[in-house]
Amino acid sequence: MNTRPALSLDARLLLLGAALSLVAGLGAAPLFDLDEGAFTAATLEMFARGDFMQTFLNGLPRTDKPILIYWLQAASVALFGWSEWALRLPSALAATAWMAMAHAFARRLYDPPTALAAGVLTATTLGVALISHAATADALLNACLAGAVFAQYLALRDGDRRIGLVAWACMGLGFLTKGPVALVLPLGTALLYCASRGEWARFFRHALNLRGIGLFLLIAAPWYVAVTLMHGTTFVEGFFLKHNVARYAGAMEGHAGGPLYYLPVLLLLALPFTGLLGRAALDARTLWRDDFARYALLLLALTLALFSFSATKLPHYLLYGCSALWVVLARQLAARPPGRAMWLAPLLLAALLLALPDLLAALLPRAQAHYQLMLADLDAWFGHGYRLGWTAMVLLALVLLALRAGRRALLAMGIVFSLGYSLLLLPAVGGALQGPVREAGRVAAGIDAPLVMHGLNMPSFSVYAGRVVQRRAPAPGDVALTRADHLADLPAHELLYRHKGIALVRMLEPTP
């Protein structure tokens, strides 16, 4: 018989609000280049080629990521049609599952107040709120990692090999989403955790669970084998050697950073709950004595170490080690009500987002010419609605700070922030930077001519045009997407569309 108390109405409303914030505004912003554009254009090319085993981008093999997220995006657009909403839906659903797992795990391990805080906090931290609205592999990978680390902890604690199978299944899905990181982080954490307790036998029972390993291989191996048999070693060599080994050894695409890169990133990813990190830092010795908190800290430390030594650094990499940390922060919040210091981060964040258009305008004269053009109409995108929305957030934070509001008010603030990102921030930034690319793609969709990109890399153009676009120098008869400041360097052409820094031209036959 279940003796756990039922959730109160306000707790249910908070969880519902957090879940809705993950799916709100999925279609409000254009696709962002490069990442969203590359993932979704590769999904488009699967349909264009009739090949759902290997991905291509601009007509060339794309070996950046395994297949699972592309399959899910393909299924979504097959059901709902081609739109930003449908392409982002798999990420939003994965983040919702991530939130649900955090809630269920914390309820099993602790109590309903901790579970409530864990679910809402997981859904509404800045890092999670943003990747839940991105048509990339990251929300799906984090959901797989969350399932793996939560199930693995319970398997290690209780010696239950059946729940250990859940961990192995999640690692298999993660390996099919983004590769070795889905195996390295959970098993590495298990090794460190068992070593810290001197329980080596427990680790080896989990790591050498033959049924678990078999389940992992059953999920992950068939596609890797099939793609190798069908397409040779192109994917395996490109993915494992270039996008894992080479990415670790050398900075790719300019994504470099110093050894302390991820420390400020952690503070940003946890917004608006960054104050809880300070509380956790002060309680570090106590947390180390708590069994699950130790496990969570070791996962975070392993992630920090692994990616701090990597030459290629991106902010969202740190989220791979944060699922258990969010539960620890939730436990901290449930144990002690937030003081006024907890409201400083929400207040500063709201003030920063309110001032964002003015900050961008001040920095604009120092930006590259292309970005000066793209951001020339800031007021059109960061208008009265944007400013009124974040002004209300600043005032709300000030009131709650003055009242020294409680736990649920802080959680509700997180939900409001999450809605603000999806309904105010992302549409404004996306409209300013990506709006012209979207419009150029829609113009190109009605033109019967080969499409190319020249002098820029905006793969979302392919999605909006609805067909494969090559990256090469344009030839006569081609319709080319290019930067407006490159027009003078092109041979004879007809201008079809131009807005801010983006131009679409039809290349003409040279005159005799």
Mind listing the pLDDT tens digit for each residue in 59-103?
Answer: 988 888 899 999 999 999 999 999 999 999 999 999 999 999 999
Q: What value does the mean pLDDT take over residues 498-509?
A: 93
**What DSSP element (H or E) covers 494?**
strand 493-499
Please, what's the largest Cα pairwise distance for the chain? Answer: 89
Residue 109 above 70 pLDDT?
A: yes
In this prediction, residue 461 carries a pLDDT of: 97
Asked if residue 393 lies in contact with residue 417, where contact means CB atoms within 8 angstroms, the answer is yes
Q: Which two tokens stand for residue 227?
A: 């793609």
Q: Which two tokens stand for residue 429?
A: 């930034």
Asked if residue 80 lies in contact with residue 86, where contact means CB atoms within 8 angstroms, the answer is yes
How far is it, in rounded angstroms, from Cα 254 to Cα 247? Answer: 11
In this prediction, residue 234 carries a pLDDT of: 72
Three-class SS of residue 452?
strand
In this prediction, residue 376 carries a pLDDT of: 84
How far is it, in rounded angstroms, from Cα 145 to Cα 488? Answer: 50
Residue 6 above 50 pLDDT?
A: yes
Q: Name the range with the highest mean pLDDT among 218-222, 310-314, 391-395.
A: 218-222
Whose tokens are 């009500």? That residue is 337
How far is it, in rounded angstroms, from Cα 468 to Cα 56? Answer: 10
The single-letter code of the amino acid at 329 is L
* Count of alpha carbons within 13 angstroms of residue 220, beta-carbon side: 23
In this prediction, residue 238 carries a pLDDT of: 66
Residue 294 above 90 pLDDT?
A: yes
Mind listing the pLDDT tens digit for each residue in 444-490?
Answer: 999 999 999 999 999 999 999 999 999 999 999 999 999 998 999 99
Mind listing the pLDDT tens digit for each residue in 12-54?
Answer: 999 999 999 999 999 999 999 889 999 999 999 999 999 999 8
Whose tokens are 């290629």? That residue is 312
Q: How far apart are the first and last CA of the chain?
A: 89
- Spatial CA neighbour of 294 closest among 189, 406, 449: 189
Residue 193 above 60 pLDDT?
A: yes
Neighbour-count burial for 261-289, b at 16+ CB within 10 Å, e otherwise? bbeebbeebbbbbbbbbebbeebeeebee
How far is it, in rounded angstroms, from Cα 464 to Cα 336? Answer: 50
Sign of CA dihedral 136, 98, 316, 379: positive
In this prediction, residue 81 carries a pLDDT of: 95
| pLDDT above 70 as % of the chain | 94
- The chain-wide mean pLDDT, for the chain, equals 91
- The residues near 20 (Cβ < 8 Å, ≥ 6 apart) are none
Residue 235 above 80 pLDDT?
A: no
**190 vs 338, more confident:** 190
Residue 108 above 90 pLDDT?
A: yes
Distance from CA of residue 319 to its chain's centroid? 9
380 Ramachandran zone, left/alpha/beta (phi>0; psi -120 to 50) = alpha
pTM: 0.93
Residue 239 above 90 pLDDT?
A: no
Segment among 69-78, 176-185, 242-251, 368-377 with least mean pLDDT? 242-251
| Strand pairing category for 493-499 and 470-471 | unpaired
Residue 506 above 90 pLDDT?
A: yes
What is the crossing angle of helices 68-80 and 161-178, to 10°? Answer: 80
Mind listing the pLDDT tens digit for each residue in 119-161?
Answer: 999 999 999 999 999 999 999 999 999 999 999 999 999 988 8
In this prediction, residue 1 carries a pLDDT of: 40
- What is the phi/psi pair of residue 180, to 5°? -60, -25
- Spatial CA neighbour of 390 closest among 360, 343, 340, 356: 356
**4 vs 305, more confident:** 305
Asked if residue 189 lies in contact with residue 249, where contact means CB atoms within 8 angstroms, the answer is no
Residue 11 above 80 pLDDT?
A: yes
Asked if residue 482 lies in contact with residue 456, where contact means CB atoms within 8 angstroms, the answer is yes
* DSSP conformation letters of 272-285: T-HHHHHHHHHTHH
The single-letter code of the amino acid at 243 is H
Q: Which two tokens stand for residue 3?
A: 């003796």
- C-alpha Rg value of the chain to the nearest Å: 24
* Angle CA 82–85–88, to nearest 5: 100
Beta strands (DSSP E) in 55-162 are 56-57, 60-61
How far is it, in rounded angstroms, from Cα 291 to Cα 163? Answer: 18
How far is it, in rounded angstroms, from Cα 469 to Cα 460? Answer: 10
Residue 242 above 80 pLDDT?
A: no
Q: Which two tokens stand for residue 505?
A: 């031209």
